[in-house]
Structure formats: C-alpha cells, structure tokens
Amino acid sequence: MEALLLGAGLLLGAYVLIYYNLVKAPQCGGLGTSAGSWSPPSGANSGIGKMTALELARRGARVVLACRSRERGEAAAFDLRQESGNNEVIFMALDLASLASVRAFATAFLSSEPRLDILIHNAGISSCGRTREAFNLLLRVNHIGPFLLTHLLVPRLKTCAPSRVVMVSSAAHQRGRLDFTRLDRPVVGWQQELRAYADSKLANVLFARELATRLEGTGVTCYAAHPGPVNSELFLRHVPGWLRPLLCPLAWLVLRTPKGGAQTPLYCALQEGIEPFNGRYFANCHVEEVPPAARDDHVAHQLWEASMKLAGLGPEEEEEPDEEPQPKDLSLLSTPYFGEPTVSEPSSPGPQRSPDLSTVIHRIQVKAEPDTQVS
C-alpha cells in the first residue's frame, strides 16, 4: 500500500512539474488595460480566437469577428458582448477557402471601418475532413486566404500606422518543407494532411518574415505567434467519435486551455518594445529562433511570388493601391450589429509605444473553422 501511495505521489509530482514547466502557458504581463478598438483574429467564434477576442473586448476594443458560419459567428459576438460588457463586438462573414469571399470581406470592411490597427490571423484547419477540393485546402485556408486578405488591407494598415499583423502559426512549422512544384496539389489521406499542415505553418512563418521586409519603414510590423499545444475544438474535430471519450481526459491533462493559447498572440499584438523583432517568431511570449528552412529569405521571396499567383493577384497588384476599393457585393456579409465604428491606433518599428486601445480599432478576422492549434 505504501508503495502504491509513493508511486502515485511520484506520478502526481512529475505531472505537476511537466504541466507547469512545459504545458501551462505563461501569463504575459505588461499589455496595458486601456480601452479602444481593434482588428480581426481568425477563428474567433471558438477556442483561441474567441479568447483573444474576449480579452480585446474587455479592454474596450471594437472587435470584428470574421467567421464563415453566420450562426456561430453571431452567437460568438453575442456571447462576447455579454461576457465583456462591450457592445462594440460585431460579426462579418468570411470564408478563407474562397478567394471571392476574401475579396468581398475586404471590400466591405474597407468601406465600413475607418481604421485597422491590428490584424490577427488566427483561423485555420488541421485536416481537410471529408472535403475534397481541386486545390490544397490546408494551404488555401491557413496561408493563401490570409495572404490575400492582408494584401488587400495593407493600405489601411499603413494609413493607421503604427499597426501590426499577427500570424498564428505552430511548432509544426519545424516539420515543413515547401515543394513549389506541388504547392497547390490536392491533399489526400492523413499522411499528406500532416505534411500539408506543417507546410502551411511554415508558410505562416515565412510570410511574416517577408511581409516585415516589404513593409519596413511603413510603421507596420509583423509577427508569427505559436499558441502552444491547446485543448480546443480543432484538436478533436476530426477524431473518430469512439476515440473522443478516451482523448478528452488526456487532452484536459496535458494541453493548454484556449485562454492560455491566446497569450502569445495577444503579446505580439499588444506588447510594447517588440518592434526590433519585426518578422520574428514568438512562443511563450518570447522570441524564438526557427530552423534554417523558416528563415531562408530566398524561399520566403519564392513563397511570396507563388502566393501572389495562387491568390489571383496580377503584377499590377504587386504594389498595394493607394485608393481602397468601394463595395460591390455585400451579400456575403452580415449587417453589423451597431453603427459606424470608432477610431484607434497601435505600434510599429522603432521605440514606439504599444497600441493605445483607447484610440485603437480592433477587428478580429475569424474563420468558421476552428482556430489554429499547435501540435
């Protein structure tokens, strides 16, 4: 009996050490508490994105939830207004798998929202599920859609500088190896899905790096953020039903809560003084070195050129337009719950302050699929 108790005590002690040193997310301090407005974290209708949106709303930010599902997006906006006491939380429809939807969202957003200070790309998928497309769905949702949306919103980000772009990536980028001869080929089978997911997360890191280079001196800074291993909807979405009862308790024991997963994206969005790390990769609220494949400037440039083609952007759109497009078809978007947005402003390269949320507009770009999660 004593041996059993001793063994149980040792196991419990080992679990506590592992959880608090390797799993539990640090609480990122120094983010400020001022009120104001914001810009989109993808996948904010659940998991990491929703917790990110909630924190922003509690700080008084204006939050735009960009989700594919109108029902879930409007429900999330209602929940966030109730929990935060902030009525400036609205929903707009966006399907990152559809380039037409991305363009429609950008057009409507630019016509209705006077400011964009922080753009958070949190939406993502880890599997194609039963969907079979003629293209790489994982790359489209996790990289090409956010790439196109950022491209279309860059003029507004420049106008509102200092401003920030945050790409929620994953430690899975370390396993990524981009093959530009097969970049957009359809993904079939779980082995290809694992590879495609890692490749898309590597694309996130390289995109943040290249975007930072191209926007240097504009006041717009860019960061890739790793939320850590998170117990969110994404983790169990494609797990067979019979296996879920076995994995749920394990996930609860060894994975972070969505609130913990939101800490590093929030840090990249709000922390003052990180402008010298423009284009870098953050985990546990600290900058981290990435493998050679994730800091290869030649590959980052090559990815940019390939992404331009896959996003349907021609050479004439290489440079962002000075004039923002006027709305054409808003049928894909919901009517905002409230009137015209208020105004704001965040941080950029150099010794500048972090976003003053009392004067900043925050929009949270959300996709109906679960938020990005790390494995």
Point out the residues that are catalytic: 197
**Paired strand residues for 281:** 224, 288
φ, ψ at 343 (rounded to 5°): -120, 165
Number of H helices, E strands in the chain: 12, 7
H helices of the chain, in order, are 2-18, 47-58, 70-84, 99-112, 137-139, 145-159, 190-214, 233-236, 244-254, 258-261, 263-270, 297-310
- Answer whether the bond into residue 162 is a cis peptide, omega within 30°: yes
Which residues does 301 contact at the CB level (< 8 Å), separation at least 6?
Answer: 210
* Number of Cβ within a 10 Å radius of residue 41: 38
Q: Which two tokens stand for residue 265?
A: 């994206």
* Number of Cβ within a 10 Å radius of residue 30: 11
Distances (CA, A) of 345 to 3, 342, 374: 61, 11, 30
Closest among 186, 175, 173, 63 to 119, alpha carbons compared = 63
CB 165 within 8 A of CB 220: yes
Cα separation, 348 vs 334, whole angstroms: 32
Q: Angle formed by the axes of helices 145-159 and 99-112, to 10°?
A: 20
Within 13 Å of residue 200, how many CA atoms lie on the same side as its CB?
A: 33
Distances (CA, A) of 236 to 129, 172, 191, 206, 232: 12, 17, 17, 28, 7
Cα separation, 240 vs 168, whole angstroms: 26
